[in-house]
């Protein structure tokens, strides 16, 4: 582990400088030493370091001035001070300005190594804390797996097979199918789970900025590079780097990415010396990379490099059996979040949702349900609530006509067999209004019986399909005197 850590030592006394170097190198650290603060700061502009150790009192540029210069350009770079007993008070003062620790002369090898290890651990904790907080924020809301379909079971199996390895994974699937969610699951079930998960959206930055984010840069390497920046390949050290929408990388950036993956080392923009990396790469795209290779817009050698383990996510229209589960989950989550008493969706609303193609997949379903929960004025979400949620999502145009047609059918043909069609709450209202001679209890009975018949007497599945909570569905069964045992398939 220490062999990957680069340390810079500044002291104008050759004996101290060389003594510290020998102590650190004996513990497999990579060490560069400098007699003056000026020379050290110039070197920091060219090379990324994990820690700086500097004397406090030096001719020319003092340790205090070195600290201020470092904090202006690389605020996350930890600094340790070496100081004499007589200047311990000064050392405490500079710690208030951003130094991570100090060590007093004379010191032992053990004291030096313990102080260095502590400082490096503190830096790791600080970096991981930042990305952990970001991960927690990113994972709020609906980001969790829901689904029992065979298509999703295949996805779960592949995740558990692949997660413990370090193999590069290419996740493919339409927008909104949950590619980042799968990437996070792969990380959380891997041996790298205790290190950072760093996600990069390759569509959100211009090419030049994206390269700087990935590889880092040294101060002055291009216009606007006012300080040295550590790239995300290094930030993800020991963990997982997720490149979302990798198909959007330019051919130039693709070539640089290929080299990093081949050599397992990265050179910041404007830098001259590569540094080794230890990361797991997961990439994702909603495009067909094979087609892009044939078109010449994606490098074939990079495709083969990232497509070691393919993992394809099914669109929602290919796992419609999961829609009731997803709807129920999202209704409960949003209702609890905003403090509304919503028990589910009506049978009619569920029928509409299951007949919709969802071009935006699970993300679109989440948006539809959130709007419906917010706008609903009843304990059940109806088709009217779905219609109100226009925004960027289009509910099927025949929805309104379907509801009106059903009402007209009820008016003119009150003898039709309603047990073959699941009825919604608004349907019940139409029936009560137009067929006063029919008792509402009979309609409710048909509503319950039809759901039980379709699921062989399984109350859980019947309640899920109708969008009702199981206790509410059972209460209606009790009210109308229906037993699930009557509909159990023999």
* 4 SS3 class: helix
What would the two tokens of residue 252 be? 């130039």
Is 150-314 CATH 3.40.50.300?
yes
Mean pLDDT, residues 112-136 taken together: 66
Cα–Cα distance, 49 to 237 (Å, whole number): 14
Cα–Cα distance, 73 to 42 (Å, whole number): 12
Q: What does the radius of gyration of the chain's CA atoms come to, in whole angstroms?
A: 31
pLDDT of 220 over the 80 cut: no
pLDDT of 393 over the 80 cut: no
Q: Which residue do the tokens 């829609």 mark?
A: 323
Cα–Cα distance, 60 to 40 (Å, whole number): 12
Domain ranges of the chain: 2-133, 150-314, 320-487
Helix intervals (H) in 139-281: 150-162, 179-188, 207-215, 232-235, 251-263
State pLDDT tens for residues 253-264.
999 899 999 999
pLDDT of 404 over the 60 cut: no
Cα–Cα distance, 169 to 246 (Å, whole number): 12
Cα–Cα distance, 169 to 407 (Å, whole number): 52
Cα–Cα distance, 109 to 473 (Å, whole number): 72
Q: 390 with 378: CB under 8 angstroms?
A: no
Mean pLDDT, residues 220-227 taken together: 67
Q: Which residue do the tokens 């059903």 mark?
A: 406
- Where does the pLDDT of residue 470 fall: very low under 50, low under 70, confident under 90, or very high at 90 and above? confident
Q: Fold match between 150-314 and 320-487? A: no
* Ranges 17-31, 82-96, 316-330: which has the least confidence: 82-96
Report long-range pairs for 477-486 (Cβ below 8 Å, ≥24 apart).
477/448, 479/444, 480/441, 480/444, 480/445, 480/448, 482/445, 482/448, 482/449, 482/452, 484/452, 484/457, 484/458, 484/459, 485/457, 486/452, 486/457
Query: Pick from 131, 176, 164, 122: which is nearest to 284 by CA?
Result: 176
- When the candidates are 3.40.50.1860, 3.40.190.10, 3.20.20.70, 3.40.50.2300, the CATH number that belongs to 2-133 is 3.40.50.2300
Cα–Cα distance, 257 to 201 (Å, whole number): 15
Mean pLDDT, residues 280-296 taken together: 95
Cα–Cα distance, 386 to 101 (Å, whole number): 59
Q: What was the pLDDT predicted at 438?
A: 42
Helix intervals (H) in 356-419: 361-375, 383-388, 399-412
The pTM of the full predicted model, rounded to 2 decimals, is 0.53
What would the two tokens of residue 53 be? 């150790």
What would the two tokens of residue 354 be? 């299951």
pLDDT of 410 over the 60 cut: no
Strands 216-217, 229-230: parallel, antiparallel or unpaired by DSSP?
antiparallel
Q: 185 with 162: CB under 8 angstroms?
A: no
Strands in 60-178 per DSSP E = 79-83, 101-104, 169-172
Cα–Cα distance, 193 to 207 (Å, whole number): 30
Q: Which residue do the tokens 């603060």 mark?
A: 37
Q: Give percent of the chain with pLDDT exceeding 70.
A: 78
What would the two tokens of residue 412 be? 């003119």
Q: 201 with 241: CB under 8 angstroms?
A: no
Q: 151 with 81: CB under 8 angstroms?
A: no
User: Nearest 5°: phi and psi at 429?
Assistant: -65, -40
Query: Pick from 22, 20, 19, 58: which is nearest to 41 by CA?
Result: 58
Q: Which helix (H) or strand (E) holds 134?
A: helix 109-138
- Where does the pLDDT of residue 138 fall: very low under 50, low under 70, confident under 90, or very high at 90 and above? very low
The CA distances from residue 142 to 111, 176, 323, 327, in Å, are 49, 12, 14, 11
Cα–Cα distance, 54 to 35 (Å, whole number): 10
Q: Which class does domain 320-487 fall in?
A: mainly alpha
**Most confidently predicted of 127-131, 304-308, 403-407, 435-439:** 304-308
* Ranges 81-95, 285-299, 411-425: which has the least confidence: 411-425
Q: 470 with 459: CB under 8 angstroms?
A: yes
* 8 SS3 class: strand
Report long-range pairs for 455-461 (Cβ below 8 Å, ≥24 apart).
456/487, 456/488, 456/489, 457/484, 457/485, 457/486, 457/487, 457/488, 457/489, 458/484, 459/484
pLDDT of 21 over the 90 cut: yes
Cα–Cα distance, 377 to 384 (Å, whole number): 10
Mean pLDDT, residues 381-410 taken together: 48
Cα–Cα distance, 390 to 368 (Å, whole number): 9
Whole-number mean pLDDT of the chain? 78
Cα–Cα distance, 52 to 276 (Å, whole number): 19
């Amino acid at each position: 582990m220490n062999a990957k850590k680069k340390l810079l030592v500044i002291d104008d006394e050759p004996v101290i400088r060389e003594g510290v170097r020998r102590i650190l190198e004996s513990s497999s650290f990579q060490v560069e030493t400098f007699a003056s603060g000026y020379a050290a700061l110039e070197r920091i502009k060219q090379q990324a370091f994990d820690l700086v150790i500097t004397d406090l009192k030096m001719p020319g540029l003092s340790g205090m001035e070195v600290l201020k210069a470092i904090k202006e350009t690389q605020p996350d770079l930890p600094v340790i001070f070496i100081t004499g007993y007589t200047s311990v008070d000064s050392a405490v003062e500079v710690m208030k300005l951003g130094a991570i620790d100090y060590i007093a002369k004379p010191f032992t090898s053990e004291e030096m190594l313990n102080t260095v290890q502590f400082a490096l651990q503190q830096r790791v904790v600080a970096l991981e804390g930042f990305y952990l907080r970001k991960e927690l924020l990113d994972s709020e809301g609906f980001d969790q797996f829901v689904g029992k379909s065979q298509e999703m079971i295949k996805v779960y199996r592949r995740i558990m097979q692949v997660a413990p390895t370090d193999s590069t994974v290419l996740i493919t699937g339409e927008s909104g199918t949950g590619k980042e969610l799968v990437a996070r699951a792969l990380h959380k079930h891997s041996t790298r789970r205790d290190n950072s998960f760093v996600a990069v959206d390759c569509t959100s930055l211009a090419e030049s900025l994206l390269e700087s984010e990935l590889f880092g840069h040294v101060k002055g390497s291009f216009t606007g590079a006012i300080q040295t920046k550590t790239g995300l390949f290094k930030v993800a050290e020991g963990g997982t780097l997720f490149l979302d929408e990798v198909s959007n990388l330019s051919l130039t950036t693709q070539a640089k990415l290929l080299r990093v993956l081949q050599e397992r080392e990265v050179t910041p923009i404007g830098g001259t010396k590569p540094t080794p990396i230890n990361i797991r790469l997961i990439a994702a795209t909603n495009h067909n990379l094979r087609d892009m290779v044939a078109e010449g817009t994606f490098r074939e050698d990079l495709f083969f490099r990232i497509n070691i383990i393919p993992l394809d996510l099914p669109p929602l229209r290919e796992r419609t059996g999961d829609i009731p589960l997803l709807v129920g989950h999202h209704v409960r989550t949003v209702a609890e979040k905003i403090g509304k008493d919503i028990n589910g969706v009506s049978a009619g609303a569920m029928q509409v949702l299951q007949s919709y193609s969802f071009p935006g997949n699970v993300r679109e379903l989440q948006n539809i349900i959130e709007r419906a929960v917010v706008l609903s004025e009843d304990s059940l979400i109806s088709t009217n609530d779905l219609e109100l949620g226009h925004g960027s999502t289009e509910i099927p145009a025949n929805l309104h006509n379907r509801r009106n047609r059903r009402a007209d059918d009820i008016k003119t043909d009150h003898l039709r067999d309603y047990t073959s069609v699941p009825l919604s709450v608004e349907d019940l209202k139409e029936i009560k209004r137009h067929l006063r001679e029919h008792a509402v209890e009979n309609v409710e009975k048909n509503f319950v019986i039809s759901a039980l018949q379709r699921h062989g007497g399984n109350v859980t599945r019947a309640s899920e399909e109708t969008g009702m909570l199981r206790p509410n569905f059972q209460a209606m069964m009790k009210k109308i005197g229906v037993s699930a045992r009557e509909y159990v398939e023999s």
